[in-house]
Amino acid sequence: MDDDSDVIEPIFFLSYINKIDDFLLEYGNDPTLIEAKKRLIYVLDKPDICLFKDGNFKLALDDSLDTLNELEDVSFDIFKDEARYMASEVFLSPSNKFTVRKLLFISTYYELSGDEVIKEIVDNYSDRKEYGLYKKVIFGEPKSKKMI
């Protein structure tokens, strides 16, 4: 696709909102994340979609992921610089109310792009006390192997 930002950006941000939802379900309500989610939905919403209505967000997310699966040569490079910068920045700056949002942004980018540089950047900070938690948020829990 020549200019796929009209497709890629909504897919990215719907996926990002979904990560915020998942985080809120697992760790409880956080006013900063709830506000971020509301703002993103407001920006993405259109009268014919009504993302705030029950079920409509899930439908829009599923539709966008179906579209993603149908596309060839999809690139999330428009988010690459920000995600890579944030992957270092979260370790180098004191934790604040935006840290979880940054981690979820990085996680969304990594999940959609598969950019292995993100893993390399994060692993460069394996000596930091935040490493385990940040790695868990960005990459999720490793799947345990079943014993046979």
**Per-residue pLDDT at 1 exceeds 80:** no
Domains in the chain, number: 2
3-state secondary structure of 1: coil
Residue 142's pLDDT band, with cuts at 50, 70 and 90, is: low
pLDDT at 146 over 60: no
Query: Quick one: 88 and 119 in the same domain?
Result: yes
How big is the CA angle at 100 (ends 142 and 42), to the nearest 5 degrees?
115
Residue 144 lies in a domain: no
Query: According to the model, what pLDDT value does residue 92 have?
Result: 96
Tokens of 146: 């079943």
Please state the three-class secondary structure of 40-60 as a single string: HHHHHCCCCCCCCCCCHHHHH
| Tokens 């692993």 belong to residue | 123
Distance CA 51, CA 53 (A): 5
- Residue 44 located in a structural domain: yes
Q: Are residues 56 and 85 in the same domain?
A: no
Residue 76 has pLDDT above 90, yes or no: yes
Of 18-22, 98-102, 128-132, 140-144, minimum mean pLDDT range: 140-144
The residue among 106 and 67 whose pLDDT is bigger is: 106
Mean pLDDT calculated for residue range 65-82: 86
Gap between the Cα atoms of 41 and 21, Å rounded: 12
Q: Which domain holds residue 36?
A: 5-70
| Whether residues 65 and 115 fall in one domain | no
Q: Which residue has the higher pLDDT, 79 or 3?
A: 79
